[in-house]
Structure 1
Amino acid sequence: MATLVITVIGEDRPGLVSSLADVVAEHGGSWGRSQLAQLAGKFAGIVTVDVPDAHASALTRAVGSLEGLDISVQGAEDGAAAGVEGEAGETFHLDLVGHDHPGIVQQVSGVLARQKVSVEALDTRVVPAPQAGGDLFEARCAFRAPADVDVEALKQALEELAQELQVDVTFDAADQAAVWE
């Protein structure tokens, strides 16, 4: 069995996910984990597909021929399909809210990287907040810390950064970050 990682981007339209799912099913593939979104009129997504080895090349060609989409297909290395889910360590959840300004994601992700933390999910949005004098930046992040991480040091680093950025953060252990409806 081959595991393929398919990335797709294109103009959003009704039936786009269905056309991709049809091609996967026609080649005996099993849709695995996916993240799909419509942003600013574009559709973007990533999905893992398990497919019999004998059908992997045909599936790759077929998804590549879907009209109006820029699609990339890569084979996952052995064990890579499970990703960081298979690694030891605890999952944490971070919520962040504050006035929008450049560099927030860069600085937060820098703190996480220095602690050897792996981001599993990151959802961000900017929402108008006229009563607050501008736009608010909101982020929800699920990340997995190595088993030997100093949780208190990680929490302290995030709290110090929150003060520097003048944002509110909530940090706790969680199974997985929630997404906005």
Structure 2
Amino acid sequence: MRHVVISFLGKDRTGIVDNLASIIKAHNGNWQTSSMRHLSGHFAGILEVLVGQDQVEQLVAQLQSIDGLNVQCEVSEPTKHTDKTIRLDLTANDRQGIVGEISAVIHKEGGNLVKLVSSQGSAAHSGQTIFKATANIAIEGDDHIDALVSSLENIADDLIVDIIL
């Protein structure tokens, strides 16, 4: 069995997920993990499929031939993280470059950003734009975790970091 990591982007229309799922099923693939979203009139996503070695080429070819959808596929072996994985919930006043600031600190402190989900919203009382993110990070140990959280909190006075072990 092989893992196929699939990313796609196209103008939003009905039936995209059904189309993907039908092709995967036709090649005896098993839909493992996914994240999909409507963004500015487009539909984008990433998913992982487990499929038999004898079906990989045909699956990839058929997915990449979907009209109006830009599909990228990478065939790989699954990997296991040996580091501890933590979740950070981050909240701050929104500003340009905030994701770059956060990712630079994570990298500097030896963390590997495994997953990032971010959004913007309005602060309840002021209406100011707020940045919110949930980050899953693989990191070596408790000493590194403490240093990471401390470094993140030092980015700005308004950055709140909640850690979930």
Q: Structure 2: which amino acid aligns with 1:71?
A: V
Residue 162 (structure 2) aligned to one of 161, 170, 178: 170
**Length, aligned pairs only:** 165
2:57 matches 1:65: no
Which residue of 1 is the match for residue 139 of structure 2? 145
Counterpart Cα distance in 1 of 2:50 and 2:32: 7
Q: Report what 2:74 is aligned to.
A: 74
Counterpart of 1:14 in structure 2 is 14
**Between the two proteins, what is the percent identity of the paired residues?**
29
Distance 2:74 2:2 in 1: 10
How far is the alpha carbon of 1:23 from its aligned partner?
A: 0.1
Equivalent in the alignment of 1:98: 92
1:117–1:145 contact (8 Å) kept in structure 2: yes
Query: Letter of the aligned partner of 1:46 in structure 2?
Result: I
Quick one: distance in 1 between partners of 2:33 and 2:143? 27
Aligned mates of 1:93, 1:40 — CA distance in 2: 28
Q: Distance in 1 between matches of 2:19 and 2:58?
A: 16
Task: State whether residues 97 and 168 of structure 1, in contact with CA within 8 Å, keep that contact through their aligned partners in structure 2.
Answer: yes
What do you get for the CA RMSD once the two structures are aligned? Answer: 1.8
The normalised TM-score by structure 1 is 0.83
Cα 1:162–1:92 shift into 2, 3 Å: farther
For 2:61 and 2:90, locate their aligned partners in 1 and report how far apart those are by CA, in whole Å: 41
Following TM superposition, by how much is the alpha carbon of 1:133 offset from its aligned partner in structure 2, in angstroms?
Answer: 5.1
CA contact (8 A) 1:89 1:144 kept: yes
